[in-house]
Amino acid sequence: MDTTGRGVLDTPQVRGMTISYAAMLLLLAILIPLSPAFAEPCNKPAARSKIAETLPLASEQRPVNITFRTHADGVKLSLGLKSKYPDDMTIILQHDFEQLNIKDDRFEVLLRLMGNRERLTVPFNAIKAFWDKSDLKCSDG
């Protein structure tokens, strides 16, 4: 390495590795909202309202992903699912679901999982993360 006037080493030039400041900011602007650390907490009233508004839109063209605590108060699911998912479970409402009922404090849905029909009741306060399409709407980290 060459030295400059005051004994400071020049940094070597690396080809193809320069990213402009604007490109770096654009990349951060895209990635930060996708990060769970920057998503609104799911236990806030505004997030619960978004969840309740978005759930009826779940369809083949608009998948909705929900991660919830299986041991939270009010969660109802089969013993088999509870033993398989003792902490958290993620469901995708896209193809194999029926009878989606949305209440003030929870939603209920009939899912087809590996050939079995499973009725789930999930209170909104049990939800840890919620995505509409691929947009993270809320996350408890």
pLDDT band, residue 41 (cuts 50/70/90): confident
DSSP letter at 52? H
**For position 70, what pLDDT does the model report?**
95
**For position 13, what pLDDT does the model report?**
54
**Which single residue is written with the structure tokens 């654009």?**
26
Q: Residues near 127 by Cβ (< 8 Å), separated by ≥ 6?
A: 42, 51, 66, 67, 68, 138, 140
Query: What mean pLDDT do residues 118-137 have?
Result: 88
Q: Is 109 helix (H, G, I), strand (E, B) or coil?
A: strand
Q: Average pLDDT over the chain, rounded to whole?
A: 78
